């Protein structure tokens, strides 16, 4: 697993494009994002929050919000997708992922602002997570979602995931994808460089 430069998180920032061509910045969450991230979760529809957290909540508990906005170089990691709206940064999506050293797998969950769904942002954000997984040395990318979450299931299917029964909860379906990407072939430039640094000086860290 690579050791992240926690004093310079901006070097891991990526710029995606929505289906209409609008630039969308993906960056690590920082402590100063807490209020805006909480507002983002509050603004999601109740169905979107239920799908994201596999249960009914109106906002993140303070302890969980703290976990989202603080991390060490072993993760788990949180990222936000933002747009520039009238000169201010607005969160339109988020993702959280964890690398598990023992199984060489990266587990993730994500959400997209209801007003931005259907614009290809989910697919782009998932592709970015795959870049991060490859850079970290993961062999498998996986997630769990409710069987009723048609949007996430459709996104995973379009992105090449296979489906299986969740071993712990019959209400969930697990989607998995084998990753076999050489560092030089990682599509995201920042994570291609990160993968090269991992190969030059590998650092193993326990999964959280």
Q: What confidence tens digit (pLDDT) does each residue in 122-143 have? A: 999 999 999 999 998 899 999 9
Q: What is the pTM of this model?
A: 0.89
pLDDT at 204: 40
- Phi/psi of residue 207, nearest 5 degrees: -70, 150
**According to the model, what pLDDT value does residue 19 have?**
87
Q: Number of folded domains in the chain? A: 1
In a domain, 206, yes or no: no
Q: What percent of the chain has pLDDT over 70?
A: 91
Residue 177 lies in a domain: yes
> For 70-123, how does the pLDDT look when each residue is reduced to its tens digit (9 = 90+)?
987 777 999 999 999 888 899 999 999 999 988 999 999 999 999 999 999 999
> Quick check: is 14 in a domain?
yes
Q: At what angle do helices 189-200 and 121-136 cross, to 10 degrees?
A: 10
Q: Which domain holds residue 100?
A: 9-198
Residue 203 counted as domain residue: no
Residue 85: give its domain's CATH number. 3.40.630.30
């Amino acid at each position: 697993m690579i050791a992240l430069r926690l004093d310079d998180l901006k070097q891991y920032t990526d710029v995606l494009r929505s289906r209409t061509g609008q630039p969308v910045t993906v960056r690590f969450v920082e402590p100063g994002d807490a209020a805006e991230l909480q507002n983002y979760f509050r603004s999601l529809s109740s169905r979107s929050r239920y799908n994201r957290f596999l249960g009914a909540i109106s906002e993140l508990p303070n302890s969980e919000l703290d976990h989202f906005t603080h991390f060490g170089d072993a993760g788990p990691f949180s990222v936000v997708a933002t747009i520039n709206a009238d000169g201010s940064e607005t969160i339109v999506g988020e993702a959280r992922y964890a690398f598990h050293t023992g199984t060489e797998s990266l587990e993730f969950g994500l959400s997209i602002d209801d007003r931005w769904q259907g614009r290809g942002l989910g697919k782009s954000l998932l592709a970015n997570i795959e870049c991060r997984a490859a850079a970290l040395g993961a062999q498998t990318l996986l997630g769990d979602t409710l069987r009723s979450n048609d949007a996430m299931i459709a996104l995973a299917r379009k992105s090449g995931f296979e489906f299986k029964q969740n071993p712990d909860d019959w209400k969930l379906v697990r989607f998995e994808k084998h990753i076999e990407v050489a560092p030089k072939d990682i599509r995201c430039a920042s994570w291609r460089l990160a993968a090269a640094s991992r190969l030059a000086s590998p650092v193993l860290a326990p999964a959280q």
